[in-house]
Structure 1
Amino acid sequence: MLITPDISTLSYKRQLAKRFDRASRSYDSYADFQKIVLDRLLAMLPLSQADVVLDLGTGTGQALGILSQQLKPKCNIALDLSPQMLTVARERFSALPNLHCVCADAERLPFQEKSCDLVFSSLAVQWCLSPLDLFNELFRVTKPGGYVVFSTLSQGSMPEISQAWVGLDSQRHVHDYMAQDALLDCIKASGLNLLSSQLSDILMWFDSPEAAIYSLKKVGASLIAGDAHSSVSPTRWKAFLREYEKQRDERGVPLSYQVSFIVAQRPAIV
Protein backbone atom coordinates (compact mmCIF):
# COMPACT_ATOMS: atom_id res chain seq x y z
CA MET A 1 0.00 0.00 0.00
CA LEU A 2 1.32 3.45 -0.90
CA ILE A 3 1.35 5.81 2.07
CA THR A 4 1.00 9.45 1.08
CA PRO A 5 2.41 12.05 3.49
CA ASP A 6 -0.22 14.50 4.79
CA ILE A 7 -0.28 18.12 3.68
CA SER A 8 1.28 19.44 6.89
CA THR A 9 4.23 17.06 6.51
CA LEU A 10 4.76 18.03 2.88
CA SER A 11 4.53 21.72 3.76
CA TYR A 12 7.10 21.34 6.53
CA LYS A 13 9.51 19.48 4.25
CA ARG A 14 9.13 22.08 1.49
CA GLN A 15 9.83 24.89 3.96
CA LEU A 16 12.81 22.99 5.33
CA ALA A 17 14.27 22.47 1.86
CA LYS A 18 13.80 26.15 0.97
CA ARG A 19 15.45 27.27 4.21
CA PHE A 20 18.55 25.20 3.50
CA ASP A 21 18.49 26.20 -0.17
CA ARG A 22 18.81 29.84 0.93
CA ALA A 23 21.70 28.99 3.26
CA SER A 24 23.65 26.86 0.78
CA ARG A 25 26.17 29.57 -0.19
CA SER A 26 26.66 31.01 3.31
CA TYR A 27 26.74 27.71 5.20
CA ASP A 28 30.48 27.03 5.19
CA SER A 29 31.35 30.54 6.39
CA TYR A 30 29.12 30.25 9.48
CA ALA A 31 29.36 26.54 10.34
CA ASP A 32 31.88 26.70 13.21
CA PHE A 33 29.65 24.72 15.56
CA GLN A 34 28.78 22.22 12.84
CA LYS A 35 32.49 21.64 12.14
CA ILE A 36 33.20 20.95 15.82
CA VAL A 37 30.43 18.35 15.91
CA LEU A 38 31.49 16.80 12.60
CA ASP A 39 35.10 16.37 13.73
CA ARG A 40 33.99 14.62 16.92
CA LEU A 41 31.65 12.34 14.99
CA LEU A 42 34.26 11.39 12.41
CA ALA A 43 36.58 10.38 15.24
CA MET A 44 33.95 7.84 16.33
CA LEU A 45 33.85 5.88 13.05
CA PRO A 46 33.92 2.18 13.99
CA LEU A 47 35.22 0.87 10.64
CA SER A 48 38.18 1.51 8.34
CA GLN A 49 36.67 0.34 5.03
CA ALA A 50 33.21 0.43 3.49
CA ASP A 51 31.96 -0.31 0.00
CA VAL A 52 28.82 1.87 0.15
CA VAL A 53 28.68 5.00 2.32
CA LEU A 54 25.57 7.15 2.69
CA ASP A 55 26.09 10.69 4.02
CA LEU A 56 22.57 11.52 5.19
CA GLY A 57 21.85 15.25 5.22
CA THR A 58 25.16 15.95 3.55
CA GLY A 59 24.61 19.71 3.33
CA THR A 60 27.58 21.24 1.52
CA GLY A 61 29.42 17.92 1.75
CA GLN A 62 31.79 18.74 4.60
CA ALA A 63 32.08 15.05 5.54
CA LEU A 64 32.42 13.60 2.03
CA GLY A 65 36.13 14.13 1.54
CA ILE A 66 37.14 12.57 4.86
CA LEU A 67 34.71 9.66 4.51
CA SER A 68 36.10 8.95 1.06
CA GLN A 69 39.71 9.23 2.18
CA GLN A 70 39.33 7.05 5.28
CA LEU A 71 36.91 4.40 4.03
CA LYS A 72 37.75 4.17 0.30
CA PRO A 73 34.16 3.39 -0.68
CA LYS A 74 33.22 2.11 -4.11
CA CYS A 75 30.06 4.22 -3.88
CA ASN A 76 29.68 7.60 -2.13
CA ILE A 77 26.06 8.69 -1.72
CA ALA A 78 25.38 12.29 -0.69
CA LEU A 79 21.71 12.72 0.26
CA ASP A 80 19.96 15.94 1.18
CA LEU A 81 16.47 17.41 1.07
CA SER A 82 17.88 20.67 -0.33
CA PRO A 83 18.75 20.72 -4.05
CA GLN A 84 20.97 23.77 -3.62
CA MET A 85 22.98 22.17 -0.82
CA LEU A 86 23.59 19.21 -3.14
CA THR A 87 24.68 21.59 -5.90
CA VAL A 88 27.34 23.05 -3.60
CA ALA A 89 28.46 19.57 -2.52
CA ARG A 90 28.66 18.40 -6.14
CA GLU A 91 30.72 21.45 -7.14
CA ARG A 92 32.97 20.98 -4.13
CA PHE A 93 33.70 17.34 -4.88
CA SER A 94 33.37 17.17 -8.65
CA ALA A 95 36.54 15.06 -8.78
CA LEU A 96 35.45 12.63 -6.06
CA PRO A 97 35.13 9.18 -7.63
CA ASN A 98 31.82 7.34 -7.52
CA LEU A 99 29.89 10.25 -6.00
CA HIS A 100 26.12 10.07 -6.34
CA CYS A 101 24.06 13.07 -5.20
CA VAL A 102 20.47 12.22 -4.27
CA CYS A 103 17.76 14.74 -3.38
CA ALA A 104 15.38 12.86 -1.11
CA ASP A 105 13.69 12.69 2.28
CA ALA A 106 15.59 10.79 4.97
CA GLU A 107 12.31 9.33 6.22
CA ARG A 108 11.57 7.83 2.77
CA LEU A 109 14.91 6.65 1.44
CA PRO A 110 15.00 5.65 -2.25
CA PHE A 111 17.43 2.77 -1.71
CA GLN A 112 17.21 -0.99 -1.67
CA GLU A 113 17.23 -2.97 1.55
CA LYS A 114 20.62 -3.89 3.02
CA SER A 115 22.52 -1.65 0.59
CA CYS A 116 24.77 0.52 2.80
CA ASP A 117 27.79 -0.44 4.88
CA LEU A 118 27.65 2.90 6.69
CA VAL A 119 24.97 5.52 7.18
CA PHE A 120 26.66 8.66 8.46
CA SER A 121 24.78 11.80 9.46
CA SER A 122 25.85 14.94 11.30
CA LEU A 123 23.20 17.31 12.66
CA ALA A 124 20.40 16.32 10.29
CA VAL A 125 18.32 13.83 12.28
CA GLN A 126 16.73 16.57 14.41
CA TRP A 127 14.81 17.89 11.39
CA CYS A 128 12.91 14.62 10.85
CA LEU A 129 9.29 14.52 11.95
CA SER A 130 9.05 10.83 12.88
CA PRO A 131 12.23 9.48 14.49
CA LEU A 132 10.89 5.94 14.64
CA ASP A 133 10.09 5.99 10.90
CA LEU A 134 13.57 7.38 10.27
CA PHE A 135 15.37 4.68 12.24
CA ASN A 136 13.23 1.98 10.66
CA GLU A 137 14.44 3.30 7.29
CA LEU A 138 18.05 3.40 8.45
CA PHE A 139 17.76 -0.19 9.66
CA ARG A 140 16.21 -1.21 6.33
CA VAL A 141 18.98 0.23 4.13
CA THR A 142 21.91 -0.81 6.34
CA LYS A 143 23.63 -4.10 5.57
CA PRO A 144 23.70 -6.77 8.30
CA GLY A 145 26.73 -5.88 10.38
CA GLY A 146 26.73 -2.34 8.96
CA TYR A 147 26.76 0.84 11.02
CA VAL A 148 24.65 3.93 11.62
CA VAL A 149 26.77 6.77 13.03
CA PHE A 150 25.16 10.15 13.66
CA SER A 151 24.95 13.30 15.74
CA THR A 152 21.80 15.24 16.52
CA LEU A 153 20.67 18.12 18.69
CA SER A 154 18.93 17.05 21.89
CA GLN A 155 16.52 18.53 24.37
CA GLY A 156 18.00 21.47 26.25
CA SER A 157 19.74 23.07 23.28
CA MET A 158 19.86 26.88 23.02
CA PRO A 159 18.41 27.73 26.45
CA GLU A 160 19.88 31.22 26.15
CA ILE A 161 17.41 32.05 23.38
CA SER A 162 14.45 30.74 25.37
CA GLN A 163 15.60 32.72 28.41
CA ALA A 164 15.85 35.92 26.39
CA TRP A 165 12.26 35.55 25.20
CA VAL A 166 10.83 34.98 28.69
CA GLY A 167 8.37 37.74 29.48
CA LEU A 168 8.38 39.15 25.95
CA ASP A 169 5.78 36.85 24.42
CA SER A 170 4.25 33.41 24.83
CA GLN A 171 5.40 31.96 21.51
CA ARG A 172 7.82 29.06 21.11
CA HIS A 173 11.08 30.30 19.63
CA VAL A 174 13.27 27.21 19.87
CA HIS A 175 12.78 23.89 18.09
CA ASP A 176 11.57 21.02 20.30
CA TYR A 177 14.47 18.58 20.20
CA MET A 178 14.10 14.98 21.32
CA ALA A 179 15.27 13.95 24.76
CA GLN A 180 18.21 11.54 24.83
CA ASP A 181 16.21 8.72 26.45
CA ALA A 182 13.46 8.95 23.83
CA LEU A 183 16.07 8.97 21.06
CA LEU A 184 17.72 5.81 22.39
CA ASP A 185 14.31 4.11 22.69
CA CYS A 186 13.61 4.81 18.99
CA ILE A 187 16.98 3.42 17.97
CA LYS A 188 16.44 0.21 19.92
CA ALA A 189 12.84 -0.13 18.68
CA SER A 190 14.08 -0.08 15.08
CA GLY A 191 16.19 -3.19 15.67
CA LEU A 192 19.56 -1.44 15.65
CA ASN A 193 22.01 -2.35 18.39
CA LEU A 194 23.25 0.68 20.32
CA LEU A 195 27.04 0.46 20.60
CA SER A 196 27.77 3.85 22.14
CA SER A 197 26.01 7.08 23.03
CA GLN A 198 27.36 10.37 24.32
CA LEU A 199 25.49 13.51 25.31
CA SER A 200 27.77 16.53 25.16
CA ASP A 201 27.26 20.17 26.09
CA ILE A 202 28.93 22.38 23.47
CA LEU A 203 29.14 26.07 24.28
CA MET A 204 29.83 28.73 21.65
CA TRP A 205 30.62 32.43 22.19
CA PHE A 206 29.78 35.39 19.97
CA ASP A 207 30.54 39.08 19.77
CA SER A 208 26.86 40.04 19.81
CA PRO A 209 23.34 38.56 20.04
CA GLU A 210 22.94 39.27 16.33
CA ALA A 211 26.05 37.18 15.57
CA ALA A 212 24.66 34.29 17.63
CA ILE A 213 21.38 34.36 15.70
CA TYR A 214 23.23 34.66 12.38
CA SER A 215 25.19 31.50 13.27
CA LEU A 216 21.83 29.73 13.08
CA LYS A 217 20.17 31.57 10.22
CA LYS A 218 23.13 31.46 7.85
CA VAL A 219 23.37 27.65 8.08
CA GLY A 220 19.60 27.20 7.57
CA ALA A 221 18.86 26.35 11.19
CA SER A 222 16.17 28.91 11.90
CA LEU A 223 14.96 28.93 15.47
CA ILE A 224 11.51 27.55 14.67
CA ALA A 225 9.65 26.26 11.61
CA GLY A 226 9.52 29.75 10.15
CA ASP A 227 12.01 32.57 10.14
CA ALA A 228 11.97 33.96 13.68
CA HIS A 229 12.99 37.47 12.65
CA SER A 230 10.26 37.84 10.01
CA SER A 231 7.53 36.52 12.33
CA VAL A 232 8.34 39.01 15.12
CA SER A 233 7.72 42.75 15.06
CA PRO A 234 10.84 44.97 14.90
CA THR A 235 10.08 46.39 18.35
CA ARG A 236 9.81 42.97 19.93
CA TRP A 237 12.92 41.74 18.08
CA LYS A 238 14.95 44.63 19.47
CA ALA A 239 13.61 43.83 22.94
CA PHE A 240 14.71 40.23 22.49
CA LEU A 241 18.22 41.32 21.49
CA ARG A 242 18.44 43.56 24.56
CA GLU A 243 17.45 40.67 26.82
CA TYR A 244 19.90 38.32 25.11
CA GLU A 245 22.68 40.89 25.55
CA LYS A 246 22.21 40.67 29.34
CA GLN A 247 23.69 37.14 29.24
CA ARG A 248 27.07 38.45 28.05
CA ASP A 249 30.17 37.85 30.16
CA GLU A 250 33.88 38.43 29.55
CA ARG A 251 33.89 35.69 26.90
CA GLY A 252 31.03 37.14 24.87
CA VAL A 253 27.39 36.19 24.24
CA PRO A 254 26.75 32.46 24.83
CA LEU A 255 24.84 29.92 22.77
CA SER A 256 24.92 26.32 23.98
CA TYR A 257 23.86 23.01 22.52
CA GLN A 258 23.16 19.53 23.81
CA VAL A 259 24.48 17.11 21.17
CA SER A 260 23.93 13.35 21.05
CA PHE A 261 26.66 11.29 19.40
CA ILE A 262 25.49 7.79 18.48
CA VAL A 263 27.08 4.65 17.06
CA ALA A 264 24.64 1.84 16.26
CA GLN A 265 24.86 -1.37 14.27
CA ARG A 266 22.44 -3.60 12.42
CA PRO A 267 22.86 -7.10 13.81
CA ALA A 268 24.83 -9.43 11.58
CA ILE A 269 23.11 -12.52 10.24
CA VAL A 270 24.63 -15.62 11.79
Structure 2
Amino acid sequence: MLITPDISTASYKRQLAKRFDRASLTYDAYADFQKIVLDRLLMMQPLNKADVVLDLGTGTGQALTALSETLSPTYNIALDLSSRMLVTASERYSTLENTYYVCADAENLPLQSDVCDLVFSSLAIQWCLNPLALFKELYRVVRPGGYVVFSTLSQGSMLEISKAWSGIDDKEHIHQYVAFDTLIDNVTASGLNLLSSALSDIPMWFDSPESAIHSLKKVGASFISSERDQVISPSKWKAFLYEYERQRSELGIPLSYQVAFVVAQRPNRV
Protein backbone atom coordinates (compact mmCIF):
# COMPACT_ATOMS: atom_id res chain seq x y z
CA MET A 1 0.00 0.00 0.00
CA LEU A 2 1.19 3.49 -0.78
CA ILE A 3 -0.98 4.94 1.98
CA THR A 4 -3.29 3.47 4.59
CA PRO A 5 -6.41 5.61 4.69
CA ASP A 6 -9.00 5.12 7.40
CA ILE A 7 -11.82 5.44 4.88
CA SER A 8 -13.07 3.15 2.15
CA THR A 9 -11.32 2.86 -1.18
CA ALA A 10 -14.35 4.30 -2.98
CA SER A 11 -14.45 7.32 -0.68
CA TYR A 12 -10.69 7.81 -1.07
CA LYS A 13 -11.01 7.82 -4.87
CA ARG A 14 -13.92 10.28 -4.77
CA GLN A 15 -11.99 12.68 -2.57
CA LEU A 16 -8.90 12.31 -4.74
CA ALA A 17 -10.89 13.10 -7.89
CA LYS A 18 -12.40 16.18 -6.23
CA ARG A 19 -8.97 17.40 -5.19
CA PHE A 20 -7.67 17.22 -8.75
CA ASP A 21 -10.90 18.66 -10.12
CA ARG A 22 -10.21 21.77 -8.03
CA ALA A 23 -6.60 21.91 -9.23
CA SER A 24 -7.43 21.59 -12.92
CA LEU A 25 -7.34 25.34 -13.64
CA THR A 26 -4.17 26.09 -11.65
CA TYR A 27 -2.15 22.93 -12.32
CA ASP A 28 -0.07 24.09 -15.28
CA ALA A 29 0.93 27.38 -13.69
CA TYR A 30 2.45 25.57 -10.69
CA ALA A 31 3.69 22.34 -12.29
CA ASP A 32 7.40 23.18 -12.62
CA PHE A 33 8.48 19.98 -10.88
CA GLN A 34 5.99 17.90 -12.85
CA LYS A 35 7.35 19.32 -16.13
CA ILE A 36 10.94 18.44 -15.18
CA VAL A 37 9.92 14.85 -14.52
CA LEU A 38 7.76 14.62 -17.64
CA ASP A 39 10.53 15.86 -19.93
CA ARG A 40 12.93 13.26 -18.57
CA LEU A 41 10.37 10.47 -18.85
CA LEU A 42 9.55 11.35 -22.46
CA MET A 43 13.20 10.86 -23.33
CA MET A 44 13.07 7.34 -21.88
CA GLN A 45 10.15 5.93 -23.85
CA PRO A 46 11.63 3.47 -26.38
CA LEU A 47 9.22 3.63 -29.33
CA ASN A 48 9.15 5.75 -32.48
CA LYS A 49 5.81 4.42 -33.70
CA ALA A 50 2.76 3.06 -31.92
CA ASP A 51 -0.80 2.14 -32.81
CA VAL A 52 -2.46 2.62 -29.39
CA VAL A 53 -0.98 4.79 -26.62
CA LEU A 54 -2.46 5.14 -23.14
CA ASP A 55 -1.49 8.27 -21.22
CA LEU A 56 -2.38 7.11 -17.72
CA GLY A 57 -3.18 9.98 -15.36
CA THR A 58 -3.03 12.46 -18.19
CA GLY A 59 -3.97 15.42 -15.98
CA THR A 60 -4.09 18.56 -18.12
CA GLY A 61 -2.62 16.60 -21.02
CA GLN A 62 0.96 17.87 -20.88
CA ALA A 63 2.32 14.68 -22.48
CA LEU A 64 -0.24 14.39 -25.26
CA THR A 65 1.41 16.57 -27.90
CA ALA A 66 4.85 15.00 -27.44
CA LEU A 67 3.45 11.46 -27.56
CA SER A 68 1.37 12.25 -30.64
CA GLU A 69 4.22 13.92 -32.51
CA THR A 70 6.74 11.20 -31.65
CA LEU A 71 4.59 8.11 -32.06
CA SER A 72 1.82 9.13 -34.51
CA PRO A 73 -0.65 6.79 -32.78
CA THR A 74 -3.84 5.64 -34.44
CA TYR A 75 -5.51 5.98 -31.05
CA ASN A 76 -4.31 8.16 -28.20
CA ILE A 77 -6.17 7.43 -24.94
CA ALA A 78 -5.98 10.14 -22.29
CA LEU A 79 -7.22 8.64 -19.03
CA ASP A 80 -7.66 10.32 -15.66
CA LEU A 81 -9.69 9.96 -12.48
CA SER A 82 -10.55 13.66 -12.59
CA SER A 83 -13.25 14.69 -15.04
CA ARG A 84 -12.27 18.35 -14.77
CA MET A 85 -8.66 17.57 -15.65
CA LEU A 86 -9.94 15.80 -18.76
CA VAL A 87 -12.10 18.79 -19.71
CA THR A 88 -9.08 21.05 -19.43
CA ALA A 89 -6.96 18.67 -21.50
CA SER A 90 -9.59 18.18 -24.18
CA GLU A 91 -10.12 21.93 -24.55
CA ARG A 92 -6.40 22.66 -24.64
CA TYR A 93 -5.57 19.95 -27.17
CA SER A 94 -8.76 19.99 -29.22
CA THR A 95 -6.78 19.90 -32.47
CA LEU A 96 -5.12 16.57 -31.68
CA GLU A 97 -6.60 13.88 -33.88
CA ASN A 98 -7.72 10.46 -32.70
CA THR A 99 -7.42 11.38 -29.02
CA TYR A 100 -10.03 9.93 -26.69
CA TYR A 101 -10.58 11.24 -23.16
CA VAL A 102 -11.63 8.62 -20.62
CA CYS A 103 -12.55 9.25 -16.99
CA ALA A 104 -11.64 6.06 -15.14
CA ASP A 105 -9.60 4.48 -12.36
CA ALA A 106 -6.10 3.25 -13.26
CA GLU A 107 -6.65 0.21 -11.06
CA ASN A 108 -9.73 -0.83 -13.04
CA LEU A 109 -9.15 0.12 -16.67
CA PRO A 110 -12.15 0.04 -19.05
CA LEU A 111 -9.97 -1.35 -21.85
CA GLN A 112 -9.72 -4.66 -23.63
CA SER A 113 -6.72 -6.88 -22.98
CA ASP A 114 -3.65 -6.78 -25.22
CA VAL A 115 -4.57 -3.44 -26.79
CA CYS A 116 -1.84 -0.87 -25.96
CA ASP A 117 1.58 -0.58 -27.50
CA LEU A 118 2.58 1.85 -24.77
CA VAL A 119 1.28 2.78 -21.35
CA PHE A 120 2.88 6.08 -20.38
CA SER A 121 2.34 7.59 -16.93
CA SER A 122 4.10 10.51 -15.26
CA LEU A 123 3.58 11.12 -11.53
CA ALA A 124 0.17 9.49 -11.32
CA ILE A 125 0.48 5.95 -9.99
CA GLN A 126 1.57 7.09 -6.52
CA TRP A 127 -2.13 7.74 -5.91
CA CYS A 128 -3.03 4.09 -6.49
CA LEU A 129 -3.65 1.94 -3.42
CA ASN A 130 -2.43 -1.47 -4.60
CA PRO A 131 0.74 -1.30 -6.73
CA LEU A 132 0.88 -5.00 -7.56
CA ALA A 133 -2.75 -5.07 -8.71
CA LEU A 134 -2.08 -1.93 -10.75
CA PHE A 135 0.88 -3.43 -12.58
CA LYS A 136 -1.07 -6.62 -13.25
CA GLU A 137 -3.77 -4.44 -14.80
CA LEU A 138 -1.18 -2.66 -16.94
CA TYR A 139 0.23 -6.05 -17.97
CA ARG A 140 -3.26 -7.03 -19.05
CA VAL A 141 -3.88 -4.05 -21.33
CA VAL A 142 -0.41 -3.95 -22.90
CA ARG A 143 0.19 -6.07 -25.96
CA PRO A 144 2.91 -8.73 -25.83
CA GLY A 145 6.09 -6.84 -26.57
CA GLY A 146 4.49 -3.54 -25.51
CA TYR A 147 5.93 -1.14 -22.96
CA VAL A 148 5.01 0.41 -19.63
CA VAL A 149 6.97 3.63 -19.01
CA PHE A 150 6.30 5.58 -15.84
CA SER A 151 7.56 7.91 -13.15
CA THR A 152 6.28 7.96 -9.60
CA LEU A 153 7.17 9.39 -6.20
CA SER A 154 9.05 7.08 -3.86
CA GLN A 155 9.73 6.87 -0.17
CA GLY A 156 11.73 9.85 1.07
CA SER A 157 9.87 12.51 -0.88
CA MET A 158 9.15 15.85 0.82
CA LEU A 159 11.13 15.01 3.94
CA GLU A 160 11.49 18.73 4.62
CA ILE A 161 7.79 18.91 5.44
CA SER A 162 7.98 15.90 7.76
CA LYS A 163 11.04 17.38 9.47
CA ALA A 164 9.27 20.70 10.04
CA TRP A 165 6.26 18.94 11.58
CA SER A 166 8.31 16.63 13.82
CA GLY A 167 7.96 17.72 17.42
CA ILE A 168 4.82 19.75 16.68
CA ASP A 169 2.41 16.81 16.40
CA ASP A 170 2.48 13.09 15.63
CA LYS A 171 0.21 13.14 12.58
CA GLU A 172 1.13 12.28 9.01
CA HIS A 173 1.29 15.40 6.85
CA ILE A 174 2.53 13.80 3.65
CA HIS A 175 1.75 10.58 1.84
CA GLN A 176 3.77 7.54 2.74
CA TYR A 177 5.09 6.50 -0.66
CA VAL A 178 6.24 3.00 -1.49
CA ALA A 179 9.97 2.25 -1.23
CA PHE A 180 11.85 2.02 -4.52
CA ASP A 181 12.88 -1.64 -4.01
CA THR A 182 9.29 -2.59 -3.19
CA LEU A 183 8.06 -0.76 -6.28
CA ILE A 184 10.48 -2.68 -8.49
CA ASP A 185 9.48 -5.98 -6.85
CA ASN A 186 5.84 -5.22 -7.69
CA VAL A 187 6.70 -4.46 -11.31
CA THR A 188 8.49 -7.77 -11.81
CA ALA A 189 5.92 -9.73 -9.79
CA SER A 190 3.24 -8.59 -12.24
CA GLY A 191 5.00 -10.42 -15.07
CA LEU A 192 6.53 -7.35 -16.71
CA ASN A 193 10.21 -7.47 -17.62
CA LEU A 194 12.20 -4.62 -16.08
CA LEU A 195 14.32 -2.92 -18.75
CA SER A 196 15.59 0.07 -16.80
CA SER A 197 14.99 1.79 -13.49
CA ALA A 198 16.45 4.74 -11.65
CA LEU A 199 15.77 6.65 -8.45
CA SER A 200 16.54 10.35 -8.65
CA ASP A 201 16.58 13.09 -6.04
CA ILE A 202 15.01 16.22 -7.56
CA PRO A 203 15.16 19.31 -5.31
CA MET A 204 12.99 22.37 -5.85
CA TRP A 205 13.48 25.76 -4.21
CA PHE A 206 11.00 28.39 -3.10
CA ASP A 207 11.00 31.93 -1.76
CA SER A 208 9.08 30.99 1.39
CA PRO A 209 7.56 28.02 3.24
CA GLU A 210 4.13 29.29 2.21
CA SER A 211 5.01 29.21 -1.49
CA ALA A 212 6.38 25.67 -1.18
CA ILE A 213 3.11 24.43 0.33
CA HIS A 214 1.13 26.52 -2.15
CA SER A 215 2.89 24.72 -5.02
CA LEU A 216 1.56 21.41 -3.73
CA LYS A 217 -2.00 22.59 -3.23
CA LYS A 218 -2.27 24.16 -6.68
CA VAL A 219 -1.42 20.88 -8.41
CA GLY A 220 -3.65 18.78 -6.14
CA ALA A 221 -0.70 17.01 -4.51
CA SER A 222 -1.42 17.97 -0.90
CA PHE A 223 -4.20 15.41 -0.57
CA ILE A 224 -4.01 13.04 2.41
CA SER A 225 -7.04 10.84 2.91
CA SER A 226 -7.61 9.94 6.53
CA GLU A 227 -10.36 10.38 9.06
CA ARG A 228 -7.62 11.36 11.49
CA ASP A 229 -6.93 14.51 9.50
CA GLN A 230 -7.98 17.55 11.48
CA VAL A 231 -8.01 21.26 10.84
CA ILE A 232 -4.62 22.66 11.79
CA SER A 233 -4.85 25.38 14.40
CA PRO A 234 -3.29 28.78 13.62
CA SER A 235 -0.70 28.27 16.35
CA LYS A 236 0.39 24.89 14.94
CA TRP A 237 0.55 26.30 11.43
CA LYS A 238 2.69 29.19 12.64
CA ALA A 239 4.99 26.75 14.43
CA PHE A 240 5.27 24.63 11.27
CA LEU A 241 6.17 27.63 9.12
CA TYR A 242 8.81 28.66 11.67
CA GLU A 243 10.40 25.19 11.63
CA TYR A 244 10.26 25.00 7.84
CA GLU A 245 11.87 28.45 7.54
CA ARG A 246 14.82 27.15 9.58
CA GLN A 247 15.68 24.84 6.66
CA ARG A 248 16.34 27.77 4.35
CA SER A 249 19.66 27.77 2.45
CA GLU A 250 21.23 30.22 0.05
CA LEU A 251 19.03 28.72 -2.68
CA GLY A 252 15.82 29.24 -0.73
CA ILE A 253 13.31 26.92 0.96
CA PRO A 254 13.87 23.31 -0.14
CA LEU A 255 11.25 20.79 -1.18
CA SER A 256 12.80 17.61 -2.53
CA TYR A 257 11.38 14.56 -4.24
CA GLN A 258 12.55 11.00 -4.72
CA VAL A 259 11.38 10.06 -8.20
CA ALA A 260 11.42 6.56 -9.66
CA PHE A 261 11.78 6.27 -13.44
CA VAL A 262 10.90 2.85 -14.86
CA VAL A 263 10.77 1.25 -18.30
CA ALA A 264 9.21 -2.23 -18.41
CA GLN A 265 8.01 -4.54 -21.17
CA ARG A 266 5.45 -7.26 -21.41
CA PRO A 267 7.19 -10.40 -22.70
CA ASN A 268 6.37 -11.60 -26.18
CA ARG A 269 4.35 -14.78 -26.31
CA VAL A 270 6.38 -17.91 -27.06
Once residues 54 and 146 of structure 1 are traced to their aligned partners in structure 2, the CA distance between those partners, rounded to angstroms, is 11
Q: Does 1:149 align with 2:144?
A: no
1:110-154 alpha-carbon deviations (Å, 9 max, x no partner): 000000000000000100000011001000000000000000000
User: Is the contact between residue 119 and residue 149 of structure 1 (CA under 8 Å) also seen in structure 2?
Assistant: yes
Q: Match of 1:89? A: 89
Look up the equivalent residue of 1:24 and give its one-letter code. S
User: Is the contact between residue 198 and residue 262 of structure 2 (CA under 8 Å) also seen in structure 1?
Assistant: yes
Q: Match of 1:30? A: 30
Q: Match of 1:208? A: 208
Once residues 228 and 253 of structure 2 are traced to their aligned partners in structure 1, the CA distance between those partners, rounded to angstroms, is 19
Look up the equivalent residue of 1:146 and give its one-letter code. G
User: Is the contact between residue 158 and residue 255 of structure 2 (CA under 8 Å) also seen in structure 1?
Assistant: yes
Once residues 226 and 49 of structure 1 are traced to their aligned partners in structure 2, the CA distance between those partners, rounded to angstroms, is 43
Once residues 48 and 263 of structure 1 are traced to their aligned partners in structure 2, the CA distance between those partners, rounded to angstroms, is 15
Deviation at 1:226, TM superposition (A): 6.4
CA distance 1:27–1:87, shift in 2 (3 Å): same
Deviation at 1:229, TM superposition (A): 9.8
1:44-97 alpha-carbon deviations (Å, 9 max, x no partner): 011110000000000000000000000000000000000000000000111100
Once residues 232 and 56 of structure 1 are traced to their aligned partners in structure 2, the CA distance between those partners, rounded to angstroms, is 33
Higher mean C-alpha displacement, 145-154 vs 235-244: 235-244
Q: Match of 1:77? A: 77
CA distance 1:228–1:20, shift in 2 (3 Å): farther
Once residues 79 and 245 of structure 1 are traced to their aligned partners in structure 2, the CA distance between those partners, rounded to angstroms, is 38
User: Is the contact between residue 41 and residue 151 of structure 1 (CA under 8 Å) also seen in structure 2?
Assistant: yes
Identity %: 70
Q: Does 1:43 align with 2:43?
A: yes
Alignment of 1:9-20 (within 5 A): 9-20=9-20
Deviation at 1:225, TM superposition (A): 2.3
Once residues 209 and 57 of structure 1 are traced to their aligned partners in structure 2, the CA distance between those partners, rounded to angstroms, is 28
Runs of 4+ in 1 over 6 A off after TM superposition: 226-230
1:211-267 alpha-carbon deviations (Å, 9 max, x no partner): 100111100001522699972112111110111000001110000000000000000
TM-score, with structure 2 as normaliser: 0.96
* 1:178 alignment partner, SS class: coil
Q: Which runs of 5+ in 2 are unaligned?
A: 1-6
Once residues 161 and 223 of structure 1 are traced to their aligned partners in structure 2, the CA distance between those partners, rounded to angstroms, is 14
CA distance 1:186–1:227, shift in 2 (3 Å): same
TM-score, with structure 1 as normaliser: 0.96
Once residues 80 and 142 of structure 1 are traced to their aligned partners in structure 2, the CA distance between those partners, rounded to angstroms, is 18
CA distance 1:269–1:229, shift in 2 (3 Å): closer
Q: Match of 1:180? A: 180
The size of the alignment, in residue pairs, is 265
Alignment of 1:121-160 (within 5 A): 121-160=121-160
Q: Match of 1:4? A: none
Once residues 140 and 98 of structure 1 are traced to their aligned partners in structure 2, the CA distance between those partners, rounded to angstroms, is 23
Q: Match of 2:251? A: 251
Once residues 125 and 76 of structure 1 are traced to their aligned partners in structure 2, the CA distance between those partners, rounded to angstroms, is 19
Q: Which runs of 5+ in 1 are unaligned?
A: 1-6
Deviation at 1:176, TM superposition (A): 0.5
User: Is the contact between residue 151 and residue 262 of structure 1 (CA under 8 Å) also seen in structure 2?
Assistant: yes
User: Is the contact between residue 204 and residue 256 of structure 1 (CA under 8 Å) also seen in structure 2?
Assistant: yes
Once residues 147 and 100 of structure 1 are traced to their aligned partners in structure 2, the CA distance between those partners, rounded to angstroms, is 20
Look up the equivalent residue of 2:76 and give its one-letter code. N
User: Is the contact between residue 16 and residue 223 of structure 2 (CA under 8 Å) also seen in structure 1?
Assistant: no
Look up the equivalent residue of 1:233 and give its one-letter code. S
CA distance 1:187–1:165, shift in 2 (3 Å): same
